[in-house]
Structures are given as C-alpha cells and as structure tokens.
Amino acid sequence: MLPATRHRALLQHLAERGQVGILELAAALGVSDDTVRRDLKHLEAQGLLTRSHGGAVLADLHALPRAARDAVLPETKEALGRAVAAAIPPDAALMLDAGSTLLAVARALRGPHRVVTHSLDIAQVLGNRPEIALVLAGGEWDARQRLFRGPATVDTVRRYRVDLAILGACAVHPRHGLTASEAGDAEVKRAMLACSDAHWLATDHLKFGTLAPHAVAPLDDFTRLFCDRPFASGLPAGLTQTALDTAGEPTR
C-alpha cells in the first residue's frame, strides 16, 4: 500500500472513531506497528491528528486550514458532491458555498446552471464550462480558508436572486443550527441564504453535534440535508435528510 493511500485509510479510521490505537490501525491496514507510528508522526506534523499514548486522536477540524481539512474523508465528500449535484433541478440558479464538499458538488455539476460563489477553487473548476454562467463574488482574500469575504463579497452576493443556496458546514448542532468558525464566512453564508428561495446543507458526520463561534442559521431554515450518515436526532420535521449507504450512494 502506497504511503498516500495508507494515510487516507488511517484518517478514515480516525474519522469514524475519533480515537484509534496503534495496534488496531496496524491490523486494519496490514502493516507493522512501526509503520503506523511513522504515519502518525507524519500526519501530526500536518496538523491532522494528535498522537496519544498508544494511538492518536483526530484534530479539531475547526482549527485546521482548508487544505488540511480537505485531506479528511475525501471519498465521502466526493460521494456527497455527486449526490447533491444529481438532485439539483435543470437550469437552476445557484449559490455555492466554499469548502471541500461544495467543491465536490462543482466537479459533479452538469449544467446549464447559473452559479454564484465566493470560492476561488469552485470558480476554477467551473470557469471553463460553457454551460455554466459563473459569478465569482470577490473581495478580501482569505488564504487560510480559500474564499473571498468582506463587504465587497457580501455586496456581490446580494445583487443576485437564485433558486437554491447550497451551503457546507463548519458545525451543525440540533439546537444551535449551522455555525461557522470565521465571522466573514458566516456573513457570506447568511447573505446567500437571504438571496435564495430554497436552502440545502451538505456536510459529513464529523460536523454533527458540534458548535462554532459564529451563528449562520437554525436548521429549520433548510429544506434538505445531505450527509454521509443519518443525523441521529433533533432535526426539524420539515427537513428532508439524504444520507449515503455503504456503497456511497444516496438513500432516503
């Protein structure tokens, strides 16, 4: 198994359990304890985990830059992206939030659509697609989160009215709803919701039950939730949940 493949598998185990022992990882990956220890040291240097006595604990995702978060659950995010893109009605006008799951939506998107986004990565994916009418909401560049924010970004978003806003999540809490780790990101998210007729949320299970400092919206503002596993409890009655099965396909 190549090191990069092994690292992805190791992070997948951590994402599923939160904390994993070296012996368990060695058995799951079919490698020696020493190989796992070297892998954990490498991934800790990237800020993705914290080594503990006899194992490792997944890092606080809120504190990680976007590039580091992209390394966690990449296959899950791609599957979520495909599920969301397949559910979007034809010829829709969209707000696409920033983040790795929404980037996966952009990669799977098939137009024609009009898309407004503050994500440079999404704009680069869609920029050469003739069936996509693209608006990049520029402003103050946040290199850590790889998005634009600030008054100019919010002003551009507010100039448009769209059918659907699709947001990612820093944190999703049954009582406090969707929250964001950065004030500027939360402000753009709120503007996207205000300018759209319908609201969808796409996130992985690691965000469930967590809370970030900046409020975005309660869960009853959303009509559809896409996730890799069912949200256990506390969802509003009007929120339709689409989870992935073991093969990564959407199920209701």
Gap between the Cα atoms of 101 and 74, Å rounded: 9
pTM value? 0.77
Tell me the HSE value of 198 on the side-chain side, using a 13 A CA sphere. Answer: 15
The amino acid occupying position 93 is: A
Count of CB atoms situated within 10 Å of the CB of 35:
17
What whole-number distance in Å separates Cα of residue 80 and Cα of residue 74?
Answer: 10
Half-sphere exposure of 7 (CA within 13 A, CB side): 19
Residue 75, pLDDT score: 85
What local confidence, expressed as pLDDT, does residue 41 receive?
A: 87
Is 116 buried (19+), middle (13-18) or exposed (0-12) by CB count in 10 A?
buried
* CA-to-CA dists, residue 167 to 8, 127, 153, 188, 202, angstroms: 25, 20, 16, 10, 6
Q: Cα–Cα distance between 231 and 210 in angstroms, integer?
A: 12
Instruction: Profile the chain (252 residues) by mean pLDDT over runs of 10 residues.
Output: 78 72 85 88 79 77 61 84 96 96 96 96 95 97 91 98 96 91 94 98 88 92 92 80 71 59
Q: What CA–CA distances, in Å, run from 62 to 105, 213, 231?
A: 21, 10, 19
Confidence (pLDDT) at 19: 74
Q: Would you say 228 and 76 are in contact if contact means Cβ atoms under 8 Å apart?
A: yes
User: Which residues have CB under 8 Å from 237's CB, separation 6+?
Assistant: none
Torsions phi, psi of 133, nearest 5?
-90, 110
Alpha carbons 39 and 166: distance in angstroms, whole number: 35
Residue showing tokens 């929120």: 239
pLDDT at 192: 98
Structure tokens at 202: 């796409």
Q: Which two tokens stand for residue 161?
A: 């009215």
The pLDDT assigned to 144 comes to 83
- Domains in the chain, CATH or no CATH each: 3-59 (1.10.10.10), 74-251 (3.40.50.1360)
> Looking at residue 231, what is its pLDDT?
80
Q: How is residue 248 written in tokens? A: 């990564």
